[in-house]
Amino acid sequence: MEKTFLMVKPDGVQRNLVGEIVSRFENKGFKLAGAKLMIIPAELAEKHYGEHKDKPFFGELVDFITSGPVFAMVWEGENVIATARQMMGSTKPQDALPGTIRGDFGVTVGKNVIHGSDSPESAEREIGLFFEEDKVLSYDKND
Ligand code: CMP
């Protein structure tokens, strides 16, 4: 069964949005397959956001994501990667539609509450960066 990596960012944890966000994915019918509250070490943040390393906002991005606890999660379900992206809404909160997580709670492009993998390749890579293999469960007997 398809899996994705989602993370409530430091602004979302600080604003007590973890329960609200977990509920949205549970209510949709996805299964929580792994979770941990953690402070991301700078080295992991740089690897996670490696594709943005030449962007002008890279330093700011790493500083923000390591600035406080995040809630890292693995979710499982049919088409969970694309569906979770739809439920998150556009990266820029001003473009995110009402009813999406960023549309309802996002403030700025940096403080946009949640991160989610954008493809099967990033999902595999990001799950591998954040979770040891035996810490990710599966509800699908065929996995
Ligand atoms: P995320 O989905 O975590 O992946 C990359 C992040 O870069 C993105 O969400 C935004 O939060 C962040 N980002 C994109 N553009 C900017 C910007 N101009 N300034 C700061 N952060 C940005």
pLDDT in tens, 14-73: 999 999 999 999 999 999 999 999 999 999 999 999 999 999 999 999 999 999 999 999
Return d(Cα 133, Cα 65) in angstroms, integer.
23
Substitution site in 47, 57, 81, 113 for ligand 1 pocket (most atoms within 8 Å of beta carbon): 57
CATH code at position 26: 3.30.70.141
The domain total for the chain is 1
One DSSP character per residue, 21-43 reads HHHHHHHHT-EEEEEEEEPPPHH
- At residue 74, the 3 state secondary structure works out as strand
ipTM, two decimals: 0.92
- Tell me if 112 CB under 6 Å of ligand 1: yes
Q: Determine the pLDDT at residue 86.
A: 98
DSSP state of 109: S
User: Structural domain of residue 30, as residue ranges?
Assistant: 2-130
pLDDT by residue (tens digit) across 66-123? 999 999 999 999 999 999 999 999 999 889 999 999 999 998 999 999 999 999 999 9
Question: Is residue 140 assigned to a domain?
Answer: no
Q: Whose CA is nearest to atom 18 of ligand 1?
A: 57
Domain annotation covers residue 141: no
| CB-side neighbour CA atoms (13 Å) of 45 | 20
Atom index in ligand 1 nearest the CA of residue 88 equals: 2
Q: Does the Cβ of 139 fall within 6 Å of ligand 1?
A: no
pTM score, whole prediction: 0.95
Give me the residue label for tokens 């490696």: 50
